[in-house]
Amino acid sequence: MTPRETELIEAALQARARARAPYSQFQVGAAVLAGSGRIYTGCNVENASYGLTVCAERVALFKAVSEGESVFEALAVVTDAATPATPCGACRQVIWELCGDIPVVLASVAGRRETVRMAELLPRPFASSFLGERQREK
């Protein structure tokens, strides 16, 4: 692990402590490193209407985008699962669209760590280029 990856994990761990997970009891923290060097964090926020729940990864990314960031270098996700958990499908799509093939550091509170690239997590993403293809077909 690089010092920057360790810093991201620590930020995600701190964010995880603020998670609101009364239904799943599965607290998740995320931290994204923007091109500016700033780290943005997020935690999962659950809702009784489950579809309105927002994952930690999207919270962190949306905070960064709302602050003007558009370039991202790495993302960390921390859970208490025995094996570091990967982002859900919806988060994978958002991460791909906003960040591309960045490294994703997966970590558990027990200290297990693994770094994967987004292309490994989402090998055939839906991309905005498909929308342009639809326009050209008309």
Note whether 77 and 108 are within 8 A (CB).
no
Which of 7, 46, 57, 137 is catalytic? The answer is 57
Note whether 31 and 126 are within 8 A (CB).
no
Closest CA to 28 of 88, 103, 70, 71: 88
Query: Interior CA angle at 63 toward 105 and 70, to 5°?
Result: 75
57 catalytic residue (yes or no): yes
Q: Tell me how far CA of residue 98 lies from CA of 70, 74, 88, in angstroms.
A: 7, 11, 15
By annotation, the residues acting in catalysis are: 57
